[in-house]
Amino acid sequence: MKKKKSGFKFKFQRKSFILKDYVLCKSILSKINGLMFRKNPKSLVFVFNKPTRISIHSFFCRKRFIAIWLLKGKIIDVKIVLPWKVNISPRGKFDKLLELPFNDIKEISKFSSLLETFKY
């Protein structure tokens, strides 16, 4: 996993969002671990080589988190994920997945308009 400082940018309904402090997950091992077993996790950005429709789970996650699935920079689904849930799937294929833990209220509040728009 590589820690990034530049910021991950995406848009939704003409509004730009910037995720400032995150960890980029490209390797298989970093994708498998995700937010599991972490006490104070950072936001994660998972990058996939081609569009996929794999589901995620929240086993061993201590806190809830927001999952945002993107395809070519466009948001396709947003869900609040509670700990110990199985088979959390997006509405369609995606090439990037953001996992935003609820340990930073300031960071989460930036995404409130997304949560209001999508029925999770």
Residue ranges of alpha helices (H) inside 1-120 are 28-33, 105-109, 112-117
Mean pLDDT, the chain, whole residue set: 82
C-alpha–C-alpha distance, residues 2 and 22, integer Å: 9
Q: Higher-confidence residue: 80 or 116?
A: 80
Q: How confident is the model at residue 119 (pLDDT cuts 50, 70, 90)?
A: low
Q: Within a 10 A sphere around the Cβ of 104, how many other Cβ atoms?
A: 15
C-alpha–C-alpha distance, residues 6 and 89, integer Å: 29
C-alpha–C-alpha distance, residues 27 and 17, integer Å: 25
Which of 4, 7, 62, 60 lies closest to 32 in space, CA to CA? Answer: 60
C-alpha distance across the termini of the chain, in Å: 28
Q: Higher-confidence residue: 108 or 59?
A: 59
**Number of domains the chain contains:** 1
Which of 34-38, 78-82, 94-98 ranks highest by mean pLDDT? 94-98
Structure tokens given for 68: 């945002």
Range of the domain at 56: 2-117
Amino acid type, 6: S
Residue 43 has what pLDDT?
87
What's the CATH number where 60 sits? Answer: 2.60.120.1140
Residue 120 has what pLDDT?
47
Which of 37, 35, 41, 38 lies closest to 21 in space, CA to CA? Answer: 41
